[in-house]
Amino acid sequence: MPLHQTPPPDYEVERALLRQIGQRITAQRLQILHALRAAERPLTADELAAALHPLPIDPTTIYRVLHFLYEHGLVAQLTPEQGRQRYKYRDPDDLHHHLVCLRCGSDMQIPDESLDTLRETLCARYGFTVKVNHLMISGLCATCRTQSPCQQTTA
């Protein structure tokens, strides 16, 4: 192997994550999970396919694996109000949520504890116990809000 070429991944972390959730390890699951972990931002399925190139993974398989990883808590789905579904790796030990700006598209992570008051209110008022593994809230970031003061908006 030439010195400038990166060695192929060994998928050690991805294997451990799939074992941790007690699921079968397949090449496609390893490759897609690895690509999402390596991504610097959330990806659409098409962007994920491009990141996996030249690996021959069928688009249907990509969607099935994304759904599988989402169902098992390893992937978060981000759907901006005016955009395509995006996916990002979700570390099981780092539960957080997202504030996404409708104007500029910025994405700010907030800790899970930010929802504690909402959880307590829903439980006290309605007897409802909230189980949220990922939440995306749309609105305006501080920068874009300077053009529009804080106000409640409805969809």
pLDDT, tens only, 112-142:
899 999 999 999 999 999 877 778 888 899 9
pLDDT at 82: 60
Task: Write down the pLDDT at residue 41.
Answer: 86
Indicate whether 19 and 42 sit together in one domain. Answer: yes
For residues 70 and 81, state if they share a domain: yes
Q: 65-78, pLDDT tens digit by residue?
A: 999 998 888 988 87
How many distinct structural domains can be found in the chain?
Answer: 2
Domain identity same for 106 and 37: no
- State the residue for tokens 């409802």: 128
Which residue in this structure is represented by tokens 């010195």?
Answer: 3
Confidence of residue 148 (pLDDT cuts 50, 70, 90): low
Residues 80 and 153 in one domain: no
* 1-26 mean pLDDT: 75
Read off the CATH number of the domain in which 60 is found. Answer: 1.10.10.10
Same domain for 123 and 49? no
54 and 105 assigned to the same domain: no
Domain that holds residue 122: 95-155
Q: Are residues 87 and 102 in the same domain?
A: no
Q: Which residues face 43 on adjacent strands?
A: 87
Question: Is residue 87 located within the same domain as residue 124?
Answer: no
Torsion 22-24-30-31 (CA) sign: negative
Question: Same structural domain for residues 26 and 69?
Answer: yes
The reply to whether the predicted model has a pTM over 0.75 is no
Residues 78 and 140 in one domain: no
Claim to verify: residue 84 and residue 121 sit in the same structural domain: no
Same domain, 42 and 101: no
pLDDT 10s digits, 21-63: 888 888 899 999 999 999 988 889 999 999 988 888 889 999 9
Q: What's the pLDDT score for residue 104?
A: 86
Q: Which of 44, 76, 93 is the last residue of a domain?
A: 93
**Packing angle, helices 59-71 and 45-52, rounded to 10:** 110
How far is Cα 113 from Cα 120, in angstroms, rounded to an integer? 11
